[in-house]
Structure 1
Amino acid sequence: MKWRTLVLFSLAALLLLAGGRPAGMPKAEAAPVWNLTWSDEFNGASGSAPDGGKWGYDLGAGGWGNNELQNYTNRRDNSYLDGSGNLVIKAIKENYNGSAYTSARLLTKGKFNQAYGKFEARIKLPYGQGIWPAFWMLGSNLDQAGWPGAGELDIMEYLGHDTRTVYGTVHGPGYSGAGGISKSYTLPSGSFSDSFHTFSVEWEPTQIRWYVDGNLFHTFNKSQLGAGQTWVFDHSFFMILNLAVGGNWPGYPNASTVFPQTMTVDYVRVYSQGSSPSAPVESGAVYKLINVNSNKALDVYAASTADGANVQIYTDNGTGAQRWQAFAQADGSFTLINPASNKALDAAGAGTADGTNVQIANQNGSAAQKWRITANADGSFKLINVNSGKALDVSSSGTADGTNVQLWTDNGTGAQKWRLVKL
């Protein structure tokens, strides 16, 4: 240790022992707490389509503003689940409607969008000259504001001829196209096409941060913008996964480029930032859940213990049908077990659509029986089903005894707010 460093270190230690800290020394701050709001784990049969409740498609050719060569399709040839928990996007060299290549571009537009939070995907990338995959976002007001007025946030872009480097970029008014604000990350060893890597951004009202495998490599602050540049990251965005072939930036395939090429996605997950842990829930404790809108309890119909018995709201009566024992899971979620039946609170058929029925079912450890319990500002909680990313909801905001309980897109209403009362 150099003498100067030793002196400064000793001074800092003395100040801390005296109850102070050196001027300019940062205060310790807790790391952000991220609560899952949406996810797709891509569980499904081999060759099946991605979940249509979560993903749509951009279709066609025409260069996509970058002189790209592919024709995007919604065929299973170009996008499918592999049966091992992955989404595969495949670029194929073939003649198709006047194009020499086909591929796929999936997006959550009109199905899911969010302002701020953590957006993350685990992906194994393709390789080769002219190969251009990306995980990125566009403002949900795109149809009204256009590009770049709506904003573009590129979580990960990659040029297949350089298999060790990815890019994180923002585009907005006054800093779009080649003028986008960008930085790159290069693997210290290995290749992005050899194995899966995790790509994420943490987006706050005045700052965006980019990570690869948890390593911070780019920070963009609102204060960086100058005259003629506008911050447009103050509204919701939707996500895009695509695999392009050719274009102004990556260049074009040549004799060295191997086809087909595949972009394999293990998961996509979206979180919102909380100021406290998911919930002060004690694993093993028994609770009743009181719906804020109706003041009625989460209840098993007719106190049934049968597999598939319906779950409803009902006047709080203290019976076993209204008791739920919480058990913490390794991923931070909880299973809720009805002690009277020893069955779990479950999304019927592992459904993900709005209106999916909620029931009790034999414990099976699936994501359909896992719930993230997240604090609301008013002291209530929302319960988000891990498999669907949707909230435990009282149908039509009903208040009558026997009103059905279902999954529904998280909307912050009283029908999705629950008071947890420990028994």
Structure 2
Amino acid sequence: MISRVIPFIIAVTLALVAGALPTAAQDWQLVWSEEFDVDGLVDESKWSYDVGGGGWGNEELQYYTERRSENVRVEDGHLVIEAISEPFGGRDYTSGRIVTRGKGDWLYGRMEVRAMLPPGLGTWPAIWMLSTDSDYGVGYWPDTGEIDIMEAVGHDPGRTHSSVHTQALNSLNGSNPSNSIAVPDSYTEFHVYVLEWTPTRVTTFVDGEVNLVYERNGATWQRWPFDRPFHLLLNLAVGGTWGGLQGVNPDDFPTKLVVDYVRVYEDAAGPPDVSFTNVSGPVQLEPGAEFSIEAVATDPVSDIESITIYQGDAPLAAALDASTTAVVEDVHPGCYDVRAVAVDSDGWTGTSDVIPVTVGASCGQAPYLMRAHRIPGRIEAEHYDLGGPGVAFTDLSGNNTGGGFREAEAVDIGPSLDVGSGYRIQDVTLREWVEYTAHVEQGGLYRLIGRVTALQDGSFSVSVNGEELPDPFTYT
């Protein structure tokens, strides 16, 4: 089938900086905290233990224990995670790894941890976050993402690191974005390690100084899986693929990661409010009429950067402003859902209520974007008709394996990988088809051109009003 290109560019920009960022308009309010003010084992209403050896693929030397105060305890107002040189569970060291998974899960926010790091050759402490229940990719790392607020290794004393891992950018292929900052007394003094995570940016700090900045810039989940809830992890590993690069000195153990507090804040300002000014409920129109709708966005704290009115997943109108109007002439019979989405300067996205628009007496097959495609002109492959399976399309996979556009429908649409980006219909098999409603402006002889990418030669057919054209499209 045809793979088409529209001017919709997906990109990601990475900035690695040490310094200060402009002050944002977030209104951080405390929503969760652990002050470690009761001696004993950790509070299991907030924390769980990850238990086992090997470090889940990191080739670590320790065994993470459960409810063992020698390794994880609260004493004198601090959390202590202690790594000990001792045989246990088939390993030569013991240590602890505690997580908030299922007890503290957040989508965006400010995560703040005050900690003193452990000295010793072979140590690998970490303050980090993993996705709790992501549906991206294969459903586990690296597809689901990782944010390392702080990592340190004993063979590089006095330096702390921050990084992110995604399906496209990760340590397995050596491409994960990372940065480090000198903290010479991190083993003798407490320092504050912070993550500020918004819909468009991941930023880490040490004592208020920026370490890592990773920007979304419109990236898809392969580079930005950070729009799902994540949880916190605190652990002290021994050895491993990074911590053990220069060996492990047993004489440096026992050693401790000490945490003063963990605090989580959320942005009270929240997303912008989006509404329609001239429509408040379902709209009924006659075929051929004009449809006009105005959307406006407000935000008490941040500036509105853009607003877009959508029918389905495709824009009807957009503006780099707080308001915009969509006008569709000669609307085609059918049923359509219209909504508006606004983005503020902090990256928060607000969405209006959905406005149902009915044109004519009933629903059924209808053109995407409410109006028949004009001929002469260009038809984007992903803008096949509304109406569902057996009416507007047949796709044998049963679901959209491309995951790029119109994800609730079965046609396999993914991002185009060539110049110009956009979308394409992919994973095409025999007996699959899509339909488009088109209006030919005037009679005449027309030339049809299809844009196709394929690994081998092939062909596809085109039908007009139920009659197949005599010659198929071939591609080589």
Counterpart pick for 1:272 among 266, 269, 277: 266
- Per the TM alignment, residue 29 of structure 1 is displaced from its structure 2 partner at its CA by 6.2
Deviation at 1:85, TM superposition (A): 1.1
Matched, 1:94 2:90: no
Q: Establish whether residue 122 from structure 1 lines up as the match of residue 114 from structure 2.
A: yes
Deviation of 1:163 after TM superposition, in Å, equals: 2.3
Contact 1:72 1:104 in 2 (8 A): yes
Structure 2 unpaired stretches of 5+: 1-21, 271-349, 351-476
Q: Quick check: which has more Rg, 1 or 2?
A: 2
- 1:286 matched residue in structure 2: none
* Kept in 1: contact 2:120–2:249 (CA 8 A): no
Paired residues for 1:13-412 under 5 Å: 31-45=25-39, 48-74=40-66, 75-82=68-75, 84-141=76-133, 145-177=139-171, 178-187=174-183, 190-223=184-217, 229-251=222-244, 253-255=247-249, 257-275=251-269
- What per-residue deviation string (whole Å, max 9, x for no partner) do you get for residues 191-213 of structure 1? 21011000011000011111000
> Counterpart amino acid of 2:230?
F
Shift of 1:236: 0.6
Corresponding residue SS for 1:248: helix
Kindly tell me: are residues 30 and 181 of structure 1, through their superposed partners in 2, closer, same or farther at Cα, counting changes over 3 Å? closer
Distance 1:118 1:98, change over 3 A: same
- Coordinate RMSD, CA, aligned: 2.2
TM-score (norm 1): 0.55
Equivalent pair of 2:191/2:206 in contact (CA under 8 Å): yes
Alpha-carbon deviation of 1:275?
Answer: 2.9
| Residue pair 2:239, 2:248 contacting (<8 A) in 1 also | no
The CA deviation at 1:229 is 3.9
Distance 1:91 1:29 in 2: 39
Q: Deviations over 1:309-365 (max 9, x none)?
A: xxxxxxxxxxxxxxxxxxxxxxxxxxxxxxxxxxxxxxxxxxxxxxxxxxxxxxxxx
Name the CA distance, whole Å, in 2 between partners of 1:63 and 1:174. 22
User: Counterpart in 2 of 1:310?
Assistant: none
Would the aligned equivalents of 2:238 and 2:248 in 1 still touch at CA under 8 Å? no
Q: C-alpha distance in 2, partners of 1:102/1:158?
A: 18
Distance (Å, rounded) in 2 between the aligned partners of 1:62 and 1:254: 15
- Inter-partner Cα distance in structure 1 for 2:23 and 2:44: 40
In 2, the alpha carbon distance for the partners of 1:51 and 1:112 equals 12
Normalising by structure 2, we get a TM-score of: 0.49
Unaligned runs of 5+ in 1: 1-27, 277-376, 378-423
Instruction: Quote the offset at 1:150 in angstroms.
Output: 1.4
> SS of 2:217's equivalent?
helix
Runs of 4+, deviation exceeding 6 Å: none
1:145 counterpart SS class:
coil
Q: Matches of 1:146 and 1:30 in 2, distance apart?
A: 32
**How big is each residue's C-alpha offset from its partner over 1:349-384, in whole Å with a ceiling of 9 and x where there is no partner?**
xxxxxxxxxxxxxxxxxxxxxxxxxxxx9xxxxxxx
Alignment coverage as a number of residue pairs: 244
- Cα distance in 2 for partners of 1:81, 1:250 equals 25
Give the CA deviation at 1:265: 0.3
CA distance 1:89–1:256, shift in 2 (3 Å): closer
- Percentage identity across paired residues of the two chains: 42
Q: SS state of the match for residue 223, structure 1?
A: coil
Q: Distance in 1 between matches of 2:62 and 2:23?
A: 47
Per-residue deviation, 1:217 = 2.0
**Cα 1:243/1:36, change in 2 over 3 Å:** same
Give, in whole Å, the separation in 2 of the partners of 1:267 and 1:169. 22
**Structure 1 residue 179 displacement after superposition:** 2.2
Aligned to 1:319: none
Check 1:29–1:197 CA distance in 2 against 1; reply closer, same or farther (3 A cut).
closer
